[in-house]
Amino acid sequence: MSEHSSPAIAAVVFFVGFFLVFLCIECSPAPVAGGRRHHQTPHAHPLTHEYYSNTCPQLDHLVSLVTSQQFREFPISAPATIRLFFHDCFVEGCDGSILISSERGGLLVEREAADNKNLAPEAFDTVNKAKELVEKKCPGVVSCADILAVAARDFVHLAGGPYYKVKTGRKDSKVSLHYKVQFNLPRPNSTVEELLLLFSKKGLGKDDLVALSGAHTIGFSHCNHFLSRLYNYHGTNRPDPSIEPRMLKELQMLCPPFGGSADVVAPFDVQTPFEFDHMYYRNLEAKMGLLATDQALWLDRRTRPLVLKLGQDKVKFFQAFALGMEKMGAIGVKKGRSGEVRKLCYRPN
């Protein structure tokens, strides 16, 4: 899922502009995962479109007031919030546990884990602002987990992607533990086999993996997540041969092997980095995937046909992505006494 950072955007703009001038690529128009299925499926606790129809019917409108303003003022909020939703759902389910802040002297929470250190503050700000507004109109009714799900959908649409109805009814977790994170999120260099196994444990399949990876059509990644591909791929002291040569040159200029800025980021989609479209998949065909996990989807025979299909048809991508978000949004949902409706998203009641 998307990683991003507010600093060093100027470097990104330079990279995109220079690379597009330098490189003229003609892109042709183009679920059951491996491993044993986990007993927990995303549909263990059904959600509904009408959950707040009586208690907070204006929820979508209230959240949209915040997301539309955030998108105008801080466009990075879009990929940041989509990524935040992914990181929430894959760790202990879609329960808002990623939103909880550490307290002095308390246990470390999920957002303090190494995999979450670069989650952009704009995403947390969006959820907190939306929660504050919703609480004024519907006090004590709407969970932070549901607000995050709705906000992620809004940003997908604001960036040019599909609009889909979000099922609600999630409760917020009462705890957040950093050690739950490490083995529940993909690594930047995960193999397709590892990705399929991880998604299978969440009740998701191969189609969901490829469709949800399309979130990388917007957003950015820090150099440290792909640096080894540029200089020492699998310990060879050579670059990854699957990177398009001219893109490799530009990435090496942006991310030197030593002494580079930790804040510098590169776009996942070098051609349309700010537009939610299906160019991500065409980039994979052209050997322009940024992370090893991105390019692996094209290199693996199990996922390549899906990359081709979604790269050829934006409508099919939008449909697959919306379905993947719905399925992911139902992972490990807490209902009843297993959760709560937080008054403040950054701490339990």
277 is in an annotated binding site: yes
Pairwise CA distance, residues 88 & 97, whole Å: 7
Calpha distance 186→140 (Å, rounded):
34
Q: Tell me the C-alpha to C-alpha distance, in Å, between residue 234 and each of 64, 230, 231, 238, 240.
A: 45, 11, 10, 9, 8
95 is in an annotated binding site: yes
Residue 169 near residue 333 (C-beta atoms within 8 A): yes
CA count, 13 A, side-chain hemisphere, 217: 26
45 has binding-site annotation? no
Q: Under the phi-then-psi rule, with left for phi > 0, alpha for psi from -120 to 50, and beta for the rest, what region is 298?
A: alpha
Q: Are 186 and 106 in contact (CB under 8 A)?
A: no
**DSSP-derived secondary structure for 44-86:** SS--BTTTTTTT-TTHHHHHHHHHHHHHHH-TTHHHHHHHHHH
Structural contact between residues 145 and 176, judged by C-beta atoms closer than 8 angstroms: no
Q: Is the distance from CB of 219 to CB of 4 less than 8 angstroms?
A: yes
> Is 305 annotated as contributing to ligand binding?
no
Q: Is 97 annotated as a binding residue?
A: yes
Q: Is 336 annotated as a binding residue?
A: no
Task: Tell whether residue 216 is among the known ligand binding residues.
Answer: yes
Instruction: Confirm or deny that 110 is annotated as ligand binding.
Output: yes
Q: Centre a 10 Å sphere on the Cβ of residue 179 and count the other Cβ atoms it contains.
A: 10
Residue 300 in marked binding region: no
Q: Please tell me whether 67 is known to bind a ligand.
A: no
Q: What's the farthest any 2 CA atoms get from each other in the chain?
A: 61
CA distance 10 to 128: 28
Task: Indicate the helix (H) or strand (E) that contains 245.
Answer: helix 245-254
Q: Is 101 annotated as a binding residue?
A: no
H/E stretch holding 218: none
Tokens standing for residue 213: 């990876």
Catalytic residues: 87
CA pair distance 111, 115, nearest whole angstrom: 8
Residue 238 carries which DSSP code?
Answer: S
Residue 207 annotated as binding site: no
- The answer to whether 295 and 287 have CB atoms below 8 angstroms apart is yes
Binding residues for Ca(2+), as ranges, are 88, 91, 93, 95, 97, 110, 217, 269, 272, 277
Binding residues for heme b, as ranges, are 216
Binding residues for substrate, as ranges, are 186
Binding residues, as ranges, are 88, 91, 93, 95, 97, 110, 186, 216-217, 269, 272, 277
